[in-house]
Structure 1
Amino acid sequence: MPDILGWRKTFGVLGPSTNTVVQPDFDMMRPAGVTAHYSRIFTPDTDAVSNETFRAGIEVIGNNTLDAVRSVMTAKPDYLVMGMSSVTFFDGVKGADRFVREVEEESGVKISVGSHSSAAALNAYGGIRRIAILSPYWPSMNAEVARYFSDMGFSVVRDRALQCRRWTAIAEVPPSVLAQELKALDGDDVDAILQVGTNLSMVRLAAAAELFLGKPVVAINTATWWHALRANGIHDKLDGFGRLMAEF
């Protein structure tokens, strides 16, 4: 018998314990019959004051991920969704594939991750090769993101790392700042703009930016949730979250 509320699919979602944005973002885009069940990856809200300390913090999260996987699998979800993006970009496509393999071997179910989901989203629009990237990260992490997309055949024309100094501070970046950053990243040499970092509140803003910039603007939370739905045969079209959710 199917789950009474999740009669179409039940998703187990993995997210850092410091993240306050990804859960409400995913819930906003949840069609009827799909439920999301969150497992928090223990994440100390430590200072990130350099490339080195930022990477060290990400490594802590990566090391704690499988514990969160084992916890959420006690609910027997049909599928997993990774609510953190940075660990899925390390070491390019090879590293992303390794991360997916480790989680799927531990859980016994498939997973959507930010890196592969974003690439699939960009490809869904068609004709996108030159991109700009906005992140809350530090430059060393942006380099990993660029490496991944280079492996996937995209050219990263430019990027912006906001260098947020705590994990919780990412959720405090206001839309006014993010809108300015999007405009600064835009140009005739850019086919699309991609935002990474799941604790940035960008789902609604990215949809609006597609209108005022006149090109695809993809928020990673939208891309990851879209990928999870489509991978499970759920093709509901949702308005208010950009062309990705409304058209593809």
Structure 2
Amino acid sequence: MDHLAYRQKLGTLGPSTNTIVQPDFDDLRPVGVTNHYSRIAIPNDPVTDDASFVKLVNSINQATMEAVDVLRTCEMDYLVMGMSAATFWNGRQGAGQYLKMMQDRAQVGVSCGSFATEAALNVYKAKRIAFMSPYFEVANAQVRRFYEDCGFTVVRDLCLQRPSPVQIAHTTDEMCRQAILQLDGDDVDAIVQVGTNLSMIRLAAAAELFLGKPVIAINTATYWHALRALGVQDKKAGFGSLMEFH
């Protein structure tokens, strides 16, 4: 038994440009569970439109499997994917095929942002949702398609169109607050934030208090999903109702 990971040893994946997901996952980590991070090597190229965003997604996909192979050498118990856009691509069926490919390569169970946020929304019995992302519209269209395939009605969505992968992590709380307020309304049961390099695990928790509805940060949902899949039921205050009550 691993001296520190005497409950679970988690492999975690994220793009090399991502500076948010690793500290987020570490903040959510219970005692006896350890996180072991492998970086997906991608360039920090400018992202200015749909075409350059698709190029970024393709770069991530090409390098992901090598990062998984590195993680396998630590004999992880489970894989937590700290990357978002690729896990929503081509609807729920395409996302399922992608998840199976990851499971086959990792040879362990896998949690990813698309299915984790679906599970979180189902916990709250949400039907009508809004979501925000740091992406461009081409990616928001894929996220919308996934949620609609899952049976949710997407009332509104917003893309922040951040200018590069690294710049996603420079998104301010004020920018995210304004996005949440634009998305909210009496016609929305829950708000979802996607994009793992966008720091929202604390802001989403605060937003729940003043909106009175679930606000789901993708990093919180993905890590929560992994813990619950492994039977780790620890609750943690300060990161929203999902981690505190479910």
Q: 1:224 maps to what in 2?
A: 222
Q: 1:41 maps to what in 2?
A: 40
Alignment of 1:61-140 (within 5 A): 61-126=60-125, 128-140=126-138
Distance 2:182 2:100 in 1: 37
Q: Check conservation: 1:125, 1:244, Cα contact below 8 A.
A: no
Distance 1:86 1:138 in 2: 11
TM superposition shift of 1:46: 0.4
SS of match in other structure, 1:10? strand
Q: Check conservation: 1:27, 1:36, Cα contact below 8 A.
A: yes
Q: 1:154 maps to what in 2?
A: 152
- Runs of 4 or more, structure 1, over 4 Å off, are none
SS of match in other structure, 1:4? coil
Q: 1:240 maps to what in 2?
A: 238
CA RMSD of aligned residues (A): 0.6
Letter in 2 for 1:198: T
Letter in 2 for 1:158: R
TM superposition shift of 1:106: 1.3
Q: 2:50 maps to what in 1?
A: 51
Q: 2:17 maps to what in 1?
A: 18
TM superposition shift of 1:105: 1.0
Distance 2:106 2:29 in 1: 23
Consecutive unaligned residues of structure 2, counting only runs of 5 or more, are: none
Distance 1:56 1:95 in 2: 18
SS of match in other structure, 2:80? strand
TM superposition shift of 1:94: 1.2
Distance 1:225 1:122 in 2: 15
TM superposition shift of 1:242: 0.4
Deviation string, structure 1 residues 34-69 (Cα, Å, up to 9, x no partner): 000000001100011110110111111011111000
Distance 2:156 2:120 in 1: 19
Letter in 2 for 1:121: A
User: Could you tell me the TM-score, scaled by structure 2's length?
Assistant: 0.99
Q: 2:184 maps to what in 1?
A: 186
TM superposition shift of 1:180: 1.1
User: Could you tell me the TM-score, scaled by structure 1's length?
Assistant: 0.98
Distance 2:53 2:237 in 1: 35
Distance 1:29 1:166 in 2: 26
Q: Check conservation: 1:136, 1:163, Cα contact below 8 A.
A: yes
Identity %: 52
TM superposition shift of 1:84: 0.4
> Is the counterpart of residue 145 in structure 1 residue 143 in structure 2?
yes
TM superposition shift of 1:177: 1.2
SS of match in other structure, 2:73? helix
Deviation string, structure 1 residues 170-226 (Cα, Å, up to 9, x no partner): 000110110111011100110000000000000000000001111100000000000
Letter in 1 for 2:215: V
> Is the counterpart of residue 204 in structure 1 residue 202 in structure 2?
yes
Deviation string, structure 1 residues 90-111 (Cα, Å, up to 9, x no partner): 0011111111111111121110
SS of match in other structure, 1:200? coil
SS of match in other structure, 1:72? helix
